Amino acid sequence: MVTSPPFNIRSMKKQDWTAFKPLDTQLFPDDPIEEDHFQRLLETNGLFALTTKNDEIIGYLYVTRFGEDLGHLGRIGVAQAYQNHGLGSRLMEFALQWFQEQGGINTIRLYTQDFNAKAQRLYEKFKFRITGTTWHYIIPFNSIHPQGKYTCHIIQDHEVRILQKRYPDSMPAAQIRRWLERDSLVLTLKNSQGQIIGVCRFSPSFPGCFPFELDAISCFDDFIHELQKFSLPNYDYVRVTFTDFPELAQLMEHRNYKLHHRLHKMELSLEKRKKR
């Protein structure tokens, strides 16, 4: 698909990594994408480059399906030298068209830093609205005090539907299976009776988890302790990202854990957009 000349939007390729890396670092200095993650994103067919007529990459977009009927806008950005020329809007228009072409997507969701007013103005222009808050904390493993009451387990096939019923917003069955197909870890936290009281998608190389669901904050230390078993040995911390759980955020603040960022969760109904 092509925007008005001289800019083009095309699928990202493996050989784009060299140009992608400095752009991504410029746009997202706190969370740059590593090369192995870049290669995995290519497999989703939702990573697009905004280029000049000479095929210089000056922006990019990452979009994907989440579950069955939800679209996720993962990242969108334009190089600083090309900002304030409407290119962010063109990327957004492309994203909305992409979601509509997938079929069955009713809602689009994104996360943006709470202080990023410029990005929020772009999203509000396209009628996204704030629907929640997400926190991302960094937890040193040596700061926790496990009680040994709960244990982590790799998800079993029969538990996929159970998790969808328990956590429909963050753990739809279709998305869990999609993660598993990509060799992601989905870990459940269980009590001594084998009942599930928490779950997360865990990325050992990040290392971190999102979504992160927990029925009670009293289980938190055991969950983090158990995650250490699945983490790579060169990490002494884990990143925990959770949504609309202010009690857990208060615990993090009380312990003086580093707040990496706080995000607005924003959503757009495609059905309402079509009716306007």
Average pLDDT over residues 198-218: 95
For the cut 70, the answer to whether the pLDDT of residue 4 exceeds it is: no
At 2 the pLDDT is: 41
At 3 the pLDDT is: 47
Average pLDDT over residues 28-55: 92
Q: Which two tokens stand for residue 111?
A: 């996360």
Mean pLDDT computed over every residue of the chain: 94
The per-residue pLDDT for range 87-143, each reduced to its tens digit, is: 999 999 999 999 999 999 999 999 999 999 999 999 999 999 999 999 999 999 999
Strand 57-66 versus strand 47-51 pairing type = antiparallel
At 273 the pLDDT is: 65
At 250 the pLDDT is: 98
The per-residue pLDDT for range 21-35, each reduced to its tens digit, is: 999 999 999 889 999
The per-residue pLDDT for range 219-237, each reduced to its tens digit, is: 999 999 999 999 999 999 9
Q: Which two tokens stand for residue 32?
A: 């740059």
Q: How far is CA 75 from CA 37, 120, 199, 222, in A?
A: 14, 13, 25, 32
At 182 the pLDDT is: 84
For the cut 60, the answer to whether the pLDDT of residue 75 exceeds it is: yes
Q: Which two tokens stand for residue 93?
A: 């228009």
Burial (CB count <10 Å: 0-12, 13-18, 19+), residue 142: exposed
Q: 21-25, 54-58, 182-186: which range is least confident on average?
A: 182-186
At 49 the pLDDT is: 98
Distance CA 44, CA 200 (A): 21
pTM above 0.85, yes or no: yes
Domains of the chain, with CATH numbers?
8-105 (3.40.630.30), 136-264 (3.40.630.30)
At 276 the pLDDT is: 57
At 1 the pLDDT is: 44
Cα torsion at 205, 208, 213, 215 (round to 10°)? Answer: 110
The per-residue pLDDT for range 146-162, each reduced to its tens digit, is: 999 999 999 999 999 99
